[in-house]
Amino acid sequence: MQQQSSVIIIGAGVAGLASAIRLAAAGYSVQVFEQNSYPGGKLSYFEINGYCFDAGPSLFTQPANIEALFAEANEPIQDYFEYRQVPIACQYFYEDGTRFTAYTQHDQLAQAAESQLGESGSNLLRYLNDSKQLYNKVGTLFLNHSLHKPGVLFQKKIIPALATIRYKHLFKSLNALNRSYFQQEKTVHLFNRYATYNGSNPYQAPGMLSVIPHLELNEGTFYPKGGMIAITNALYQLALKKGVQFHFNAPVEKIITDKGRVKGIYSKGVPYASNVVVSNVDAYFTYQRLLNDAKTAQKINRQERSSSALIFYWGIKESFPELDLHNIFFSSNYAAEFEAIFKKKTLYADPTVYINITAKCEPGIQAPPGKENWFVMINVPSVTEVDMAAMQQQAKAAILAKLNRLLKRDIASLIEVEAVLDPLKIELNTGSYKGALYGTSSNSKWAAFLRHPNFSSKIKGLYFVGGSVHPGGGIPLCLRSAKIMSGLAIPYLKKMNPH
């Protein structure tokens, strides 16, 4: 058996990095095993001919989660990481030619809603205020604590939190809730989109997801200097500073257990001893591959997967002043698009297109001067056993048709470089089962409670972080999962190794 480590973390995704930092800052020796040659998981990066692309997550909200890690480690964040707030959360384009600028300042946002969408600004501000109240009273409680520990139910905050929840939050869909606030179909359409932030269907997911706009339109939308990869780089450097040991190109084949307790792992056939193992691998694959527990894996598999993504990375040889950092080109039939994704498990003929352009924030750096780096994404089903080449070809044709139509340009003639990421590659590169970006969907009012907890109830010393477990996917929630896990693991470590 190799050298004993206080903690072994499987996977160097953002949740794995945050877990390593928190546990190392608490004084424990930490080793991280990562199958890839780089840290970050989905939060990775590549460059082609001067065009820089963040490969995965593209939206940065709640920088306080990053700041908290540096505070925990007692390191100055400014030495590692810089970011700034952006004035526009997103530019929206509709099929009839309508354009809407979602400003992050509320007075501008309300005015734009009235002038561009014909929506009452007061309706929009009331929605955002209710979103804020719901987040502050309910969201923070459930996002900062394990839902699977009895103590959560007895906290003083639980009564006012439950009192905030209304029938519409649990028993109406997000779409139905949005229709109760807004008069214009385009506004409903816009706020339905927030269900996609955790890979869900707004026509099925509960109204509780109306907390999501709070993060972007109340707390703010931000841009990290250097692009989203700057988050990975900062956390990796901080982990190294705290003494974390990384093993790259080191897939884990097995979690070693004995009599209901963790004993370590096997990586490349070599055993490493530890009394605590933290899995930043998809919960399904953790049980199926690392624990050889097919029964539990199948139980997880019965829960509906979140959506996946098909992403084209295009180097565009011109600039588009009408576009911003974040841009959405809506489908003409949003309901039919989600029917295709979640019910029919097929690619929709007229998909909603998201384009992220970091060159808007760092021109001449993220792309060559006068040019733009387009991260072009559509939502697709979480399936891997399909003809991916055919899917890519069909999707590219549909995307180009939409962009040509709405931007009135021949986009294909402007593409200098191209790379593609599909659900199969997402599964292979990041261990996300079926390429699901957020583990399970939130298309049920019980989804939050059915997500796998941050600990194992059967194996002592085994913990879980990342997008497939509580509290969910996306950078803010993955960072929260690390905080919840460390709050559970540190007392266990103290019990195992009393000083």
Question: pLDDT for 165-201, tens place per residue?
Answer: 664 666 699 999 999 999 999 999 999 999 999 999 9
Question: pLDDT for 326-349, tens place per residue?
Answer: 999 999 999 999 999 999 999 999
What is the chain's mean pLDDT, rounded? 93
Question: pLDDT for 47-67, tens place per residue?
Answer: 999 999 999 999 999 999 999
Stretch 286-314: mean pLDDT: 95
Please name the residue that has the structure tokens 């600004």.
121
Q: Give the Cα separation of 412 and 318 in Å (integer).
A: 12
Question: pLDDT for 74-124, tens place per residue?
Answer: 999 999 999 999 999 999 999 999 999 999 999 999 999 999 999 999 999
Indicate whether 476 pLDDT > 50.
yes
HEC assignment per residue over 249-310? CCCEEEEEEECCEEEEEEECCEEEEECCEEECCCHHHHHHHHCCCHHHHHHHHCCCECCEEE
The confidence score (pLDDT) of residue 167 equals: 45
The confidence score (pLDDT) of residue 372 equals: 98
Torsion sign (Cα): 314, 318, 323, 324: positive
Show Cβ contacts of residue 393 under 8 Å, excluding neighbours closer than 6 positions: none
Determine the residue type at 417: V
In the chain, where the domains are located: 2-44+226-303+440-496, 87-220, 307-430
Show Cβ contacts of residue 9 under 8 Å, excluding neighbours closer than 6 positions: 16, 19, 20, 23, 30, 31, 32, 33, 277, 278, 280
Tokens standing for 86? Answer: 């952006």
- CB atoms near residue 496 (< 10 Å): 13
The confidence score (pLDDT) of residue 255 equals: 98
Q: Does domain 2-44+226-303+440-496 have CATH number 3.30.360.10?
A: no
The confidence score (pLDDT) of residue 166 equals: 62
